[in-house]
């Protein structure tokens, strides 16, 4: 039996949060993204908070959820603002929340602060039948910090942990900025140090079917992607049905 025989196309589609987060996206571009998400029957569209009501209206009747980012992209909002932003996004129709942690607090080892903000936002999500994905921004972190975040999110029972925003550009020795985004090393590390009930979303630079399949093999159950059409059309060409 081939991989294409073993994995339904819909299973691959339902791994994808179709990302519509670039700051230059107009409403027209976001609506076009919703149409693509509906066509390919993905898990969600992942959008900026102001776009949640528009996307919910556009996707009414489709089996595609609306995911809102919170504290995006750098995680610097106060816990109170992240909480209020979460409440508003869910009120507007979001069923999933992708929240960026306070990265500076993680780098400084203030794990009590991180635990508190994750717990508070997760409690809001649970109380309103939404799920939380906690974004680490792994480009900025060392393995030991990623492990600690995995342990915190496991203890709090967050639904998902997520590698990256796709906008975590780190300064390189040559002075230029770039990002790695989701890497096989970090996804494997996160899977190894998280409770079985915590799912993993690989995001940032996932552009091909082969990358999706590699992350799936490492334990990721969701990916963030702008290349949704490319990925799923390639899957069809390879015989996924």
- Which residue numbers are catalytic? 98, 162, 201
68, containing H or E segment: strand 65-70
Question: What gap in Å lies between CA 141 and CA 231, rounded to an integer?
Answer: 28
Q: Give residue 41's region: left, alpha or beta (phi > 0; psi -120 to 50).
A: left
In a 3-state reduction of DSSP, which class is residue 195?
A: coil
Is-contact 195 219, C-beta < 8 A?
no
Alpha-helical regions (H) of 157-208: 184-192
Return the closest-CA partner of residue 163 out of 189, 191, 131, 135. 135
């Amino acid at each position: 039996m081939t991989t294409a025989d073993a994995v339904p196309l819909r299973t691959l589609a339902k791994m994808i949060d179709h990302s519509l987060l670039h700051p230059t996206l107009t409403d027209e571009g976001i609506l076009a993204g919703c149409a693509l998400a509906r066509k390919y029957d993905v898990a969600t569209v992942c959008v900026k908070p102001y776009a949640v009501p528009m996307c919910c209206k556009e996707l009414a009747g489709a089996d595609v959820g609306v995911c809102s980012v919170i504290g995006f992209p750098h995680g610097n909002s106060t816990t109170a603002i992240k909480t209020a932003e979460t409440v508003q996004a869910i009120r507007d129709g979001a069923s999933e929340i992708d929240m960026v942690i306070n990265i500076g607090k993680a780098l400084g080892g203030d794990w009590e602060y991180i635990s508190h903000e994750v717990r508070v936002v997760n409690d809001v999500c649970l109380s309103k039948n939404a799920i939380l994905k906690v974004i680490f921004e792994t480009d900025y972190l060392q393995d030991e910090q990623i492990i600690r975040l995995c342990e915190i999110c496991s203890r709090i029972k967050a639904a998902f942990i997520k590698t990256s925003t796709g906008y975590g550009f780190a300064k390189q020795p040559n002075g230029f900025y770039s990002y790695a985004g989701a890497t096989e090393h970090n996804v494997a590390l996160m899977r190894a140090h998280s409770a079985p009930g915590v799912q993993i979303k690989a995001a940032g630079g996932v552009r091909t079917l082969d990358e999706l399949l590699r992350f799936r093999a490492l334990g990721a159950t969701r990916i963030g992607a702008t290349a949704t059409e490319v990925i799923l059309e390639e899957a069809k060409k390879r015989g996924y049905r």
